[in-house]
Structure 1
Amino acid sequence: MTAEQASQQPNLSTGPEYAEQKAEALPQPVSSKDSHSTIVDTARLWTSPQTVFSRRHWMTDVDPIHSTFPLAAYCFMTGFIDSVSFTAVFVWCGFQTGNSVQLALALARLFSGPPGQRDTSFHIADQQALTSVLTFIAGASLGRIGDRMGAKTRAWLFLGTMIQALFTMAAALTAWKSGQGSIAEVRGDPAWTNALSFVALAFMSASLGLQGIMGKRVNTQFATTIVLTTVWCELMADPKLLNFRQRVISRDHKLIAIFALFLGGFVGRAIIDAKGAAATLGVGTGMRVVIAIWWLFVPGTGGKTGKPTTG
């Protein structure tokens, strides 16, 4: 690039969305004239398999711009896992806002009504909500390991996703050994009530807690890959929302996240109806292993492998 060309480059700001801003500011490659979708253009597997097993490759940061596929798969897993927990006990393993409010209502119930006639029991639905909240936090705390290894390194993204797979496998085994059903017909009558089913719920929540912190650390338009309320709001507020003449990462990746989570919930419920919760979680375990391996092939910053990140 000549000095004159460099002077014509736009002034890029720094911040949480620097990568997306940079991607939009740079000139489009010649191949962008082809009718390729956003998800293909931003997620090519450029990494050569021959370099996968080098230490430098493992300890290199992935390029957030080219992490579209595994992050979309994370969103898919959110819908997939939540379909199991909500179908069985009407608890969202990944959406802790509802669980937190439910616990607040349970506490307020202690003061409802005249003294001596108050409901002081700890309802099973509240117990399940508390289990989900606490284990979600515990799973998310494991994400601090990535701060030491490098939150965006392939090594941590692979290892962390494999831990998610182990949690999902443990949930499958405990759900199977619990011997209970998979579908609750009435909100007040959950399908899971024994100790092993609580353990299954705990492992599912922990897996999504860890996934959430890992997705957040990659720092893209996919956010945590779990909670989509913020994603919906940011999508509606995007100034380029209705600009259909060009690809807009800030809009398109949010749409991918929303669709992937919706698809995950649909597929999860379909498998539950056919094979049950334990089998569904078993399938989810295999999916997480595939995602873990996928991280090893995501290109490094600038589309190059083995290049340490700076700044």
Structure 2
Amino acid sequence: MSKELEEALPHHNSMDITRPGDPSEKSFGEKMKKHFTQEVSTDHADILMLFCCLITGFLDSTLYNAFKTFVSMQTGNTIFVALGASDQNNRPFGWARSLISIGCFCIGSFVFSRSHRFCGPLQRSTLVASYLIQSCCILLSASLVQGFVIEGNVPADLGKHWDQVGPIALLSFQAAGQIVSSRFLGVGEVPTIVITSLLCDLLSDPLLLASVTQNPKRNRRAIGFTLTLVGAIVGGWVSKVTKSVSPMLWVAGGCKMVLTIVWGLWKEKV
């Protein structure tokens, strides 16, 4: 009887020890979906925003050196438009390029801010998509210049080549993504593209002379200004030596792509 019962019962090594709903049974697609729908932690997110300050320096110095138009600093572009309106702009149609930059930056601010709110401002997929779009805008601009579709000499011939508004539009649009993400990440003291307000906040800080550990916002502002300056110096020197905007566009695009990957791997919000 015992022998018959032993034969009827399944052996231990033939039993399926996995249970329905076991996490180990989840498909790769389900794991990726869960990963990208998570909210990311904002701890140390300021490091990534400070890296964006360096990229801003790369782009603005390079593009201004070639096209005499900013793609991030819209205060300067506003003055250029005003000078053009009073017929005092010594750059051929420089006011038009500046106006296009302002317009595309405004469109980018609208699109990125609404997208963040709609999809979830801290959701991993939102940040990855935002920085992927920014990367593609920069890399597309670099490709157009590298492929001689658009003239990108330094200095460029501003009077004839209206196709230069292509990179200006793309780069101004993507610049808005940086400042929008800094707001949603709670790192407003590092706007990444605005130096005037950053310096004002830095020097009006009542704890300006406090120790390094007592005033992290002061530290971020100071580092943000320094990195923007360093990036602009590097961008200026590279464009001067290479006589082209494409090298720094490739570098800036590569940096943005690195940030895209980092957001994909960033730790989850607890």
Whether the 8 Å CA contact 2:190–2:220 is kept in 1: the answer is no
Shift of 1:194: 0.9
When Rg is computed on C-alpha atoms for both structures, the one with the higher figure is 2
- What does 1:104-143 correspond to in 2, within 5 Å? 104-109=82-87, 123-143=92-112
| Cα deviation 1:58-113 (Å, max 9, x = unaligned) | 2233333320221111111111111121111221110111212322232234xx9x
State the Cα distance separating 1:190 from its structure 2 match.
5.1
**Which residue, out of 202, 227, 236, partners 1:235?**
202
Asked whether the 8 Å contact 1:180–1:192 carries over to 2, the reply is no
Which piece of structure 1 moves more, 135-144 or 269-278?
269-278
Residue in structure 1 matched with residue 144 of structure 2 by the alignment: 174
Per the alignment, residue 258 of structure 1 pairs with 225
Q: For the structure 1 residues 181 and 175, does the alpha-carbon distance in structure 2 shift closer, same or farther, using more than 3 Å as the test?
A: closer
Q: CA RMSD in A?
A: 2.6
Q: TM-score, normalised by structure 1?
A: 0.69
Q: CA deviation at 1:281?
A: 0.8
**2:250 aligned with 1:282:** yes
Please, which of 38, 42, 45 is the counterpart of residue 64 of structure 1? 42
Structure 1 residues 281 and 258, CA gap change in structure 2 (3 angstroms): same
The answer to whether the 8 A contact 2:212-2:219 is kept is: no
Q: Deviations over 1:135-192 (max 9, x none)?
A: 11222222021111111222111110010011001211222324535323xxxx8557
Q: Percent of aligned positions with the same letter in both sequences?
A: 22
Q: Residues 67 and 164 of structure 2 are in contact (CA less than 8 Å); yes or no, is this contact kept in structure 1? A: no
CA 1:222–1:154: 2 relative to 1, 3 Å: farther
Q: Distance in 1 between matches of 2:110 and 2:136?
A: 16
Shift of residue 214, structure 1, vs aligned partner: 2.0
Q: What CA distance in whole angstroms lies between the structure 2 residues aligned with 1:296 and 1:281?
A: 23
Aligned residue runs from structure 1 range 96-245, under 5 A: 96-109=74-87, 123-143=92-112, 144-176=114-146, 177-178=148-149, 180-184=151-155, 193-244=160-211
* Residue identity opposite 1:83 in structure 2: S
TM-score for both structures, normalised by structure 2: 0.78
**1:221/1:198 CA distance change after superposition, 3 Å:** closer
Q: Distance in 1 between matches of 2:160 and 2:76?
A: 20
**C-alpha separation between the residues in 1 aligned to 2:86 and 2:59?**
30
In terms of mean alpha carbon deviation, does 171-180 or 130-139 score higher? 171-180
Q: Which moved more, 1:231-240 or 1:291-300?
A: 291-300
- For structure 1, the 5+ residue unaligned runs are 1-52, 113-118, 305-311
Alpha-carbon distance in structure 1 between the residues aligned to 2:117 and 2:212: 39
Q: Measure, in 2, the Cα distance between the counterparts of 1:284 and 1:245.
A: 30
Q: Do the aligned partners of 1:168 and 1:281 also contact (CA within 8 Å) in 2?
A: yes
Say how many residue pairs are matched: 238
Q: Which consecutive unaligned segments of at least 5 residues does structure 2 have?
A: 1-30
